[in-house]
Structure 1
Amino acid sequence: MNTSTTTTATDAPAASAEDRELLTAVVDLAAEAGRALEARYTTDARPATRHDMFQAGTADGQVSLDILRPGLTALRPEARWLTDEYETTELPSGEWWVVDEVEGNVNHVHGLPEWAVTVALVRDGQTVLAVVRQPVGDLTYTALRGGGAHLNGTPLKISAKTELNAAIVVTGQAEADQDGTYRRIGESISAMLDKALLVRATVPSTFPMLLVAAGHNDVFWQYEPVLPGIAAGALMITEAGGTVTRIDGTPWVPGSDTVLVAAPALHEQAVQVLAKIA
């Protein structure tokens, strides 16, 4: 297993021509899946029950997967498809497609705009390619390890802030109801309220991570994340010049039980605040 850290993009070799061609093909597939989901999307959606919500969400996911799975498999026949058992654990070596076919599905089925198709390729423990296609707004985020991060072709750049008391910081709700996790989320918000300019909590995690990569947000952290929710965003942030670790500041790898992303000058300050949460 690969135990290298994903902290900055400066030590990454230049992206290969093969990976650049692969990125173009993945962008096309994500756009196709996005169009299929957009055809099912309406701002008038108001599910009345959990059953209605999950029924619509399941149907949405299948529509997207019917495009993504065969398309991505054709592009990289040897790459494995991430399954639930590997969403929160370190990945074995080789290539893995890490996909959220409807990131923010809860928003899609409620007629809200923050939903997307996300695709990342993890190779030997490192995310090397990422695409996030957000049909509402016509936004395409892309990143290649050693090739930069872009929004609709324009380079992304991390925040230049140096003081946490001027920072917008964000956390996300954990996917799993595990003992102590919700308590840590609440305590971490309280701790940051005393130090940061503005504290937000949101779902899903992809969108605040993209905002960190673009310099709109400054810090994001999450307890017990699932890999499809953060793999693409982590690469976007490192390629935009940001820092990605676990919450305690130790190296982050796909499958880590926490994640902290930040503008470099704010990273250690965020670690110190969150270190108080046990």
Structure 2
Amino acid sequence: MSESIQTIEVAATADVTASDADVLARTVTAVRGAGAVLRERFGDVVAYRTREELMSALAGNDDAALDILRPALTRLRPDAGWVEDELDGGALPAGEWWVVDPAEGNVNHLQALPEWAVTATLVRDNQPVLTAVHLPLTGETYTALAGAGAHLDGRPLRVSPTTDLGLGLVATSQARPDEDEKVVHRIGSSITAMLLDALVVRTSVPATLHLVNVAAGRLDAFWQYAGARADLLPGALLVTEAGGQISDAQGRPWTPRSETFLAAAPGVHAQAVTTLSR
């Protein structure tokens, strides 16, 4: 089976089994439960003076959410593997894996900023099968099931009809702290190129919240250099099932091994590739 998730959009609806739909429904319950725990922990800015204190605060949020997510998702798929490090990238071994970010945008949570979420994605032979992204502060839950579309609280999602990048709202994100200098320069150059070609460029973390906006038609494109499975796979499935296109920044099929990522409405995808390839 090809690792490229670009092929998801042609999956036949008949291939979506009732068990996958049931797993998705129960996954939604799990991410909402974890979100409720994180919402209770949200409020004042969490002070930290050292990297060690920061990492401890981040781990506290992760552990609180995982106390809900890990047992619930393990019961759903007892034989599925579990990705321990949310910053890991690359292909997974064959079989089923849970790719979970218990606090996507965790640093925003600590800073009392609203842009954070809980995500859980079931991956089968390197293809994302289902995903649930819950935004605890708004109560919104975004879901996608391969071959069955993308939804926001049960309402179908569709990407933007924009066909002119010059009228497009686009976004990018920093994949992780402490990027190497080469990646940092590529990010800067790409933002400059998009500032010249697109209408508005947004830059913030986390990636998943930009990608749900692409799936919902609020943004026209999102790109990122480097990246982890946990911050790209949920949104990649959502965008694909909402009718968008996924590739690397040069327009080639994207896989978890790719060094770049691009999700866009079909009408601006080729223009975005041209801009990012300069």
TM range (shorter): over 0.9
Q: Bigger shift: 247-256 or 51-60?
A: 51-60
User: SS state of the match for residue 251, structure 1?
Assistant: coil
8 Å CA contact 2:86–2:101 kept in 1: the answer is no
Q: Which has the higher helix share?
A: 2
Could you list the per-position Cα deviations for residues 117-173 of structure 1 after superposition, in whole angstroms to 9, with x for gaps in the alignment?
100011111111000011101111111001111111111110000000000111111
Taking the TM superposition and a 5 Å limit, the aligned residue runs for 1:61-76 are: 61-76=62-77
Q: Is 1:13 paired with 2:15?
A: no
The alignment-based identity, stated in percent, is: 46
User: SS state of the match for residue 7, structure 1?
Assistant: helix
1:226 to 221, 228, 238: 228
Q: Which residue of 2 aligns with 1:49?
A: 49
How many residues in Structure 1 have an aligned counterpart in Structure 2?
274
Q: Is 1:32 paired with 2:33?
A: yes
Runs of 4 or more, structure 1, over 4 Å off, are none
Letter paired with 1:5: S
1:208 to 187, 207, 210: 210
Structure 2: state its 5+ residue gaps: none
User: SS state of the match for residue 10, structure 2?
Assistant: coil
Q: Which residue of 2 aligns with 1:193?
A: 195
CA distance in 1, matches of 2:9, 2:232: 20
Structure 1: state its 5+ residue gaps: none
Q: Bigger shift: 55-64 or 223-232?
A: 55-64
Change (3 A) 1:62 1:86: closer
Q: Which residue of 2 aligns with 1:250?
A: 252
User: SS state of the match for residue 59, structure 2?
Assistant: helix
CA distance in 1, matches of 2:48, 2:77: 41
8 Å CA contact 1:9–1:241 kept in 2: the answer is no
Could you list the per-position Cα deviations for residues 155-195 of structure 1 after superposition, in whole angstroms to 9, with x for gaps in the alignment?
11100000000001111113252241000000000011110
Letter paired with 2:241: E
CA distance in 1, matches of 2:27, 2:250: 34
CA distance in 2, matches of 1:101, 1:36: 11
CA distance in 1, matches of 2:109, 2:9: 36
| TM-score when normalising by structure 1 | 0.94
Taking the TM superposition and a 5 Å limit, the aligned residue runs for 1:84-99 are: 84=85, 87-99=88-100
Q: Which residue of 2 aligns with 1:173?
A: 174
Q: Is 1:269 paired with 2:271?
A: yes
8 Å CA contact 1:88–1:225 kept in 2: the answer is yes
